[in-house]
Amino acid sequence: MSDSPVFDDLLDEQREFPPPAEFAAKAVVSGDGLHRKGQDDYQAFWEEHARELDWYQPWDTVLNWTPPHAKWFEGGKLNITHNCLDRHLGTWRRNKAALIWEGENGEVRTLTYQQLHGEVCRFAAALKGLGVTRGDRVAIYLPMIVEAVVAMLACARIGAIHSVVFGGFSPESLADRINDSSCKVLITADGGWRRGAILPLKNEADKALEKTPCVEHVIVVKRPAGEPFPCRIKGGRDHWYHRLMESAANDCPAEEMDAEDVLYILYTSGTTGKPKGIVHTTGGYSVGTYATSKYVFDLRDDDVFWCTADIGWVTGHSYVVYGPLQCGATVLIYEGAPDHPEQDRFWELVARHRVNVFYTAPTAIRAFMKWGDHLPAKYDLSSLRLLGTVGEPINPEAWMWYHEHIGGRRCPIVDTWWQTETGAIMISGLPGVSTMKPGHAGTPFPGIEATILDEQGNEVRTGSGLLAITKPWPSMLRTIWGDDERYVQTYFTKWDAQTYFPGDGAKRDAKGNYLILGRVDDVLNVAGHRIGTMEVESALVDHPAVVESAVVGRKHDIKGEAIVAFVTLGGGRSLDDALRYDLKAHVVQKIGAIARPEEIIFASDLPKTRSGKIMRRLLRDVAEGRVLGDTTTLADGAVVEQLRESYEEKYGG
């Protein structure tokens, strides 16, 4: 099991935070009725929530479960953009702010539901005009601008499948993702602001486009305000977004989608070098994101909800776009970095936009702690009433800091465990119901059934084991794009075809609160971003100097984990600073800056078991200085051999 940034003795955590009476009195849900409903009949629970959405045609069956393949709400027809947009137009919410966007440079743009609906319809019509139809794949490589939300919704409106690629991924990663699902269209921008500099997205995309014959059209958003970043527009293939919008029809009816039609693909890292295209479908995902947004974030009509995730990640899909918009919420979107122009930018935003519900990642909270208590203290944060975290285990110190310095000791904190694959929050306290414990994600969301198993599938009552989800849920992934066998193998063979294996270690306290320990597979969690060790290893061995490499995670105060790479080099080469720099740059070029190794360690040989498996646990100990002290090289083959032997003695071969 991987070492977790959370302390092992966390089960001794005694501090408890029951829902503040004032909060519970006004909460969307209080008492245990909702949890009981979910337990009594999970299908009836989800069906009841499906009924809160609009459907063109109701479903015939709630669940068709042929393990490990689930179909939810079969026979039902809907369009998620109808529930995100059109449905609000017949109510007073028509003129309510759907999006409040702030650029890094401070410009603000607000779109009401009516206006967002108009933009989405026009862009959907423009996509249709380019020949995009139901089932076509469309790649989106955009900064955090309004058009990113418009692009996603426009695809969903006409039944095209979007595949959003985070703007920080390299051209090579973008090309791989575009080709894997043969996207017909790419939507990008001339640039986006990040930490005072322009990220030249179109120029980056151009490099990817040299290797993506499937792309017929490229749509380029001119990032509003400021000088457009110079980029090439290739006649016939490339189109300016604003030009298409000028001539597009104002109306574009939503396609009536089957509940099981694919809504989107989102790539995430796994244990091989190739990212997995996680497939989400329309009906179940709508219901899951809607219900979790409503109850976990306790959304009220006068709230400003700010989820700080980029739309390139699943959190941005489910809790910037689909969940809150289905609830008719007002969503704040910020384009840039939290430390630009100063490290108080987030608190300044919270104070000025009077944010009520704030959802971010532990890595960000740890950075805020380091930057200092005086920064949030400068601002009036009294509008905040609920806080959330996601993406990695939160250490109790960070939890307490968040509670005191951001939440003013009055805001409940929801620590939400879920994954790209689960589509929606799976384990989390409900703010008006649950007693929160620092570092604990709490109990499964109503309608979700989880447990902890050992390798053999026996339930673990005390101590740590493997988290397991034992019943299907509406927003679960349906498959991996183009590789259903990998879907079955990765998620449903650990125990049996009924039981989903998320790849996380966990413990439970006596009251059934889950403590998530982090990944148990070869997936790292660096600043809340999933990165496969094999992906980084493949990038390194792609460099001509590297013969073999092994990548492990090392604890990091802010990022949770940092990447440490061991490399063996060809031709008796030694690792000097220039080569170290070169290798790091090579990984950035292959994958993107999020995968840049923090340290590269030279190894004359990599310690392997007799069956040839790299001993990662030993390498983690070396990387963290637990053996060999501060040694940053494994240059002596005899040392490696000796280490291997003493390790095998201790832990078995």
Q: Tokens 């001539």 belong to which residue?
A: 247
Binding to ligand WTA by residue 288, rule CB under 6 A? Answer: no
Closest CA to 387 of 297, 325, 513: 297
Minimal distance, residue 267 CB to ligand WTA, in Å: 10
Query: Would you count residue 360 as binding ligand WTA (CB under 6 A)?
Result: no
Question: Shortest CA distance to 272 belongs to which of 480, 425, 456, 422?
Answer: 480
Q: Which two tokens stand for residue 140?
A: 């989106």
Structure tokens at 280: 């989400």
How many C-beta atoms surround the C-beta of residue 96 within 10 A?
16
> Peptide bond preceding 341: is omega within 30 degrees of 0, i.e. cis?
yes
Could you tell me the smallest distance in angstroms from the CB atom of residue 592 to ligand WTA? Answer: 15
**Which of 418, 445, 491, 566 is close enough to bind ligand WTA by CB under 6 A?**
418
Describe the chain by its helix, strand, coil percentages, rounded to 5. Answer: 35, 25, 40
CB of 398 to ligand WTA, least distance (A): 12
Query: Which is closer to ligand WTA, CB of 527 or CB of 567?
Result: 527
Smallest distance, ligand WTA to C-beta of residue 91, A: 31
Whole-angstrom Cα Rg for the chain: 24
Question: Smaller CB distance to ligand WTA: residue 293 or 420?
Answer: 420
Residue 574 contacts residue 602 (beta carbons within 8 Å) = yes
Q: CA 322: distance to chain centroid?
A: 14
Q: Is 391 an interacting residue with respect to ligand WTA (CB under 6 A)?
A: yes
3-state secondary structure of 459: strand
φ/ψ of residue 239, rounded to 5: -135, 140
Distance CA 89, CA 86 (A): 5
DSSP state string for 574-604: ---HHHHHHHHHHHHHHTBGGG--SEEEEES
Closer CB to ligand WTA, residue 161 or residue 390? 390
Looking at the Cβ atoms of 268 and 499, the one nearer to ligand WTA is: 268
Q: Which residue blocks in 475-576 are alpha helix, DSSP H?
A: 484-492, 533-541
Residue from 167, 270, 336, 393 in contact with ligand WTA (CB under 6 A)? 393
The residue from 419, 475, 490, 513 that contacts ligand WTA (CB under 6 A) is 419
Q: Taking the complex as a whole, how short is the minimal distance between the CB of residue 315 and ligand WTA, in angstroms?
A: 5
Binding residues for ligand WTA restricted to 294-313, rule: CB under 6 A: 313
Is 126 or 266 the residue whose CB approaches ligand WTA more closely? 266
Interacting residue with ligand WTA among 415, 522, 535, 537 (CB under 6 A) = 415
Closer Cβ to ligand WTA, 419 or 513, answer by number: 419
Round to whole Å and give the CA distance between 383 and 391. Answer: 25
* Binding track over 84-113 against ligand WTA, x by CB under 6 A: ------------------------------
Q: Which is nearer to ligand WTA, 417 or 566 (CB)?
A: 417
**Per the structure block, which two tokens stand in for 158?**
């006409």
The yes or no reply on residue 4 touching ligand WTA (CB under 6 A) is no
Place of tokens 């017909």: 184
Measured from the CB atom, the residue of 268 and 293 that comes closer to ligand WTA is: 268
Q: Which is nearer to ligand WTA, 319 or 602 (by Cβ)?
A: 319
- Using CB under 6 A as the binding rule, whether residue 441 contacts ligand WTA is answered as yes
State which of positions 17-76 bind ligand WTA (CB under 6 A). Answer: none
Q: Supply the minimum distance, in Å, between the C-beta of residue 314 and ligand WTA.
A: 5
State which of residues 289, 315, 395, 443 lies at the interface with ligand WTA (CB under 6 A): 315
In whole angstroms, the minimum distance from the beta carbon of 299 to ligand WTA comes to: 18
Select the span of 50-58, 103-111, 221-229, 516-524 touching ligand WTA (CB under 6 A): 516-524
Beta strands 262-268 and 633-634: pairing type? unpaired
Whether residue 64 contacts residue 92, with contact meaning beta carbons closer than 8 Å, is answered with no
Region of 265 on the Ramachandran plot (φ > 0 left; ψ -120 to 50 alpha; else beta): beta
Parallel/antiparallel/unpaired status of strands 304-307 and 357-360: parallel
Tokens found for residue 267: 């790539």
Part of the chain binding ligand WTA (CB under 6 A), chosen from 30-38, 514-522, 557-565, 608-616: 514-522
Q: Is 417 in the site for ligand WTA (CB under 6 A)?
A: yes
Return d(Cα 72, Cα 287) in angstroms, integer: 10
Of the pair 524, 640, the CB lying nearest ligand WTA is at: 524
Q: Binding segment for ligand WTA among 180-188, 246-254, 417-425, 557-565 (CB under 6 A)?
A: 417-425
- Residue 518 interacting with ligand WTA (CB under 6 A): yes
**390 touching ligand WTA, by CB under 6 A:** yes
Q: Which is nearer to ligand WTA, 292 or 525 (CB)?
A: 525
The amino acid at 337: A
Distance CA 529, CA 173 (A): 15
Q: What is the 3-state secondary structure (H, E, C) of 399-417?
A: HHHHHHHHCCCCCCEEEEE
Indicate whether 501 belongs to the interface with ligand WTA (CB under 6 A).
no
Please report which residue ranges of 260-344 form alpha helices under DSSP H.
282-296, 314-316, 323-326
Q: Which region, judged by CB under 6 A, interacts with ligand WTA, from 296-304, 390-398, 571-579, 644-652?
A: 390-398
User: Cβ of residue 120: shortest distance to ligand WTA, in angstroms?
Assistant: 25
Residue 626 beta carbon to ligand WTA: minimum distance, rounded to whole angstroms: 23
Report the first-to-last Cα separation within the chain, whole angstroms: 16
Cis peptide before 143 (omega within 30 of 0): no
Interacting positions 571-630 with ligand WTA (CB under 6 A): none
User: Of 529-548, which residues contact ligand WTA (CB under 6 A)?
Assistant: 530
Binding residues for ligand WTA, rule: CB under 6 A, are 268, 313-315, 390-393, 415-420, 441, 502-504, 516, 518-519, 525, 530
